[in-house]
């Protein structure tokens, strides 16, 4: 049976629909950067998804060809994920201004896949599909400590879940740590083309750090 990251790492991909604190180890991803409204049919986000899956499946199916990846085992391609932000708007996302969104679309890579294997997949896909994959990159990312929660429902209703996450974070002695290189993170467990919008499952994750308490003394 193929290795399924969602099932084997439930703490990362299948959290409960109540907030929790989790430490995410360094992982490697296929990544594409872009900007704009993710709902635009001809936008950069939709393009990024096609590019990611083309490389993901080139690597997954490599065992059927002549190129051999050391340590390879059969696996289910992990879910689509995304880092999101708006310029100068750290800590929050204005869901009414989706045209100002910037993103890094990502798909996790198995640990046995190296930069060399990634480079092979880019070359292989370019030759076979006659398509430009220059936007796709190999990304190593150490996310660290985060607060996360399973959000069920429309993407536009995410602020409700985010408010619960931030309340839980503060109650447990942490503060938000979204910066230039730590992002609002979403993991998509449902296909919006096939799933009722009210049943969409999305893992929402925010980077945090220990809160610095100020002690006031009356002298």
Residue 219 lies in a domain: no
pLDDT at 143 over 90: yes
Residue 178 lies in a domain: yes
Distance CA 120, CA 126 (A): 10
pLDDT of 219 reads 45
Percent of the chain with pLDDT over 90: 89
Residue 64 lies in a domain: yes
pLDDT of 214 reads 54
Residue 215 lies in a domain: no
Distance CA 195, CA 202 (A): 12
Distance CA 156, CA 58 (A): 33
Query: What total number of domains does the chain contain?
Result: 1
CATH of the domain at 97: 3.20.80.10
Q: Is 51 strand, coil or helix? A: helix
Distance CA 204, CA 21 (A): 12
The whole domain housing 8 covers 3-210
> pTM of the prediction?
0.94
pLDDT at 56 over 80: yes
Residue 217 lies in a domain: no
């Amino acid at each position: 049976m193929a290795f399924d990251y969602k099932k084997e790492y439930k703490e990362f991909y299948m959290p409960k629909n109540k907030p929790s604190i989790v430490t995410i180890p360094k992982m490697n991803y296929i990544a594409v950067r872009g900007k704009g409204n993710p709902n635009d049919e001809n936008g950069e986000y939709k393009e990024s998804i096609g590019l990611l899956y083309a490389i993901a499946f080139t690597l997954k199916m490599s065992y059927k060809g002549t190129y051999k990846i050391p340590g390879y085992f059969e696996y289910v391609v992990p879910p689509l994920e995304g880092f999101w932000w708006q310029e100068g708007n750290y800590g929050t996302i204005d869901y009414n201004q989706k045209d100002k969104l910037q993103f890094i679309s990502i798909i996790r890579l198995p640990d046995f896949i190296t930069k060399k294997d990634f480079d092979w997949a880019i070359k292989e896909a370019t030759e076979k599909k006659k398509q430009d994959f220059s936007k796709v990159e190999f990304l190593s990312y150490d996310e660290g400590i985060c607060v996360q929660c399973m959000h069920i429902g429309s993407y536009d209703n995410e602020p409700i879940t985010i408010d619960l996450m931030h309340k839980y974070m503060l109650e447990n002695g942490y503060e938000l740590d979204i910066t230039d290189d730590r992002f609002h993170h979403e993991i998509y467990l449902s296909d919006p083309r096939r799933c009722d919008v009210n049943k969409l499952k999305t893992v929402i994750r925010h980077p945090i750090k220990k809160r610095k308490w100020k002690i006031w003394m009356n002298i």
